[in-house]
Structure 1
Amino acid sequence: MNSTTHLVGDAAPMLEIDGVSHRYGPHRALEQVGFSLARGGFHALVGPNGAGKSTLIALITGLLRCRSGEIRVAGQALSRHPREARRRLGVVFQQTTLDLDLSVRQNLLYHASLHGLGRRQARERCDRELVRQQLEARANDKVRQLNGGHRRRLEIARALLHEPELLILDEASAGLDTASRQALNAHVRALCRERHMSVLWTTHLLDEIDDADPVVVLCAGRVIADSQAQALCIHTGTRTLQDAFSRLTTKPDNVVMEGQP
């Protein structure tokens, strides 16, 4: 898509990655990566270790500067309108960034202040998210008293305080037991339905992906597949997404793009 004619606002895709490359010295982490996410719904980003997923998330969230290519959030280019673009993002990173010695509510209020929310509005949104995440009974507990699943729910509550349109979860289920992983996944999908929110879920656990989910597969810094999970199985002649993933990443030249059977 030409950057001079891209759509802005409700008509634009929620996220556009356009020809993005990134290097660490001589090492190529990403090479001409491009895909887009429609508004609303659950989207998965997968790839083997070293594929470039973490680098891409760091570029989208502004932890790294995008020097080659363009990233747009709801049509707003990160390079030209970083504040407006990032205002639309909520992020849950793999490594927790909660303050363990503050209470659940204090963590939320502190984050709200960073987004410039007034005291009254911050309290109202904190109360709302505590109820939504079923954490209201733990509001005054220190975070170190929470289990892993509750900490993830708190991080989601924190990411939603400023009402973003796109929620990015980078390996958010890592380290959780099976029941907690499934509950977190179901909860995030419910957010998509109830709030028409767009979600980008990165994972190495393919059982977290449903047949109808759009999936982007990265391998060696390139997009080698961009299609629904079920379509990837059909294209590769496999029965499971795990088998399709193994076949695609073993032969990364066998590219599957959106719309292919």
Structure 2
Amino acid sequence: MTIEARSIGFRYGDQPVLKDVSFTLTSGRFHALLGPNGAGKSTLFGLATRLLALQQGDLILAGRSLKKHPTEAMSQLGVVFQQNALDLDLTVRQNLHYHAALHGMSGRVARSRSHRELERFGLLERANAPVRQLNGGHRRRVEIARALLHQPTILLLDEATAGLDIASRNALNHHVRSLCDQDGLTVLWATHLIEEVHNEDRVLILHRGQLLADADGYQLCSDQGNRDLATTFHTLTGAG
């Protein structure tokens, strides 16, 4: 199951932020949405999660139109935002159970799925610890575990490694990639950090609200006559 953007346009007042953005992601694959700060990545995520209202175009999530069938479309989506959205005073387990309740899960299902995700993310030993006692990397793991409780087919991550050290960033990036292989998740990983993107990734480059490129990293480099993605990204956007 995948996500399709159809001619998405968005303005803040008279200022265009997204301009006729269209793409279709490949089911069960890791995709990198690469762009400088201010490119429109967070606006696109805001539209996908209905924090912002669609002004132009439509988003199709796992075959459901966000405009026509928002409840069904949103049920297919798991999201991790740039800003931490956990309750720091609740334990790790309580945060997950609260999220499960919002999705209408029974207590039995919530306990079973929470245990599975905590085990998979290496968090069982911290399940009863208040979230404020966790480091940044573990908090991000909790957020991803929470986002997967309702078993979505699509996972969106907006600058998920913001504020993490290099080791934690690499570990989180690697773990999310493994979810594509293990669960067949379709992942869209938004970042401005070129080192988080691999040449074999499907890469979407967003700049000033326009989608400048949409291809495998190797193909992008070949098309631009460059040897690496960093140079290709700079060539297309003028960003360092």
Could you list the runs of 4 or more consecutive aligned residues of structure 1 that deviate by over 2 angstroms after TM superposition? none
Counterpart position of 1:85 = 73
Q: Could you tell me the TM-score, scaled by structure 1's length?
A: 0.90
Tell me, in whole angstroms, the C-alpha distance in 2 between the residues paired with 1:243 and 1:229. Answer: 12
CA–CA distance in structure 2, aligned partners of residues 25 and 48 of structure 1: 22
State how 1:20-99 maps to structure 2 within 5 Å: 20-99=8-87
RMSD: 1.0
Give secondary structure in 1 for the equivalent of 2:142: helix
| C-alpha displacement of 1:152 | 0.4
Structure 2 unaligned regions, length at least 5 = none
Q: Is 1:149 matched with 2:137?
A: yes
Letter in 2 for 1:191: L
Corresponding pairs, count: 239
The one-letter code sitting in structure 2 at the alignment partner of 1:244 is T
**Residue type at the aligned position of 2:182:** E
Equivalence for 2:226: 238
Unaligned runs of 5+ in 1: 1-9, 252-261
Among residues 79, 82, 93, which one is paired with 1:105 in the alignment?
A: 93
Partner Cα separation in structure 2 for residue 215 and residue 113 of structure 1: 35
Identity over the aligned pairs, expressed in percent?
55
Query: What is the one-letter code of the residue matched to 1:104?
Result: V
Measure the CA separation in 1 of the matches of 2:192 and 2:211: 16
CA displacement 1:168-215 (0-9 Å, x = unmatched): 010001111111011001100111100111100001111111111101
Tell me which of the two structures has the higher relative contact order, counting C-alpha pairs closer than 8 angstroms and 6 or more residues apart. 2
- What does residue range 1-261 of structure 1 map to in structure 2 within 5 Å? 14-250=2-238
Q: TM-score, with normalisation over the residues of structure 2?
A: 0.98
* C-alpha distance in structure 1 between counterparts of 2:96 and 2:207, whole Å: 36
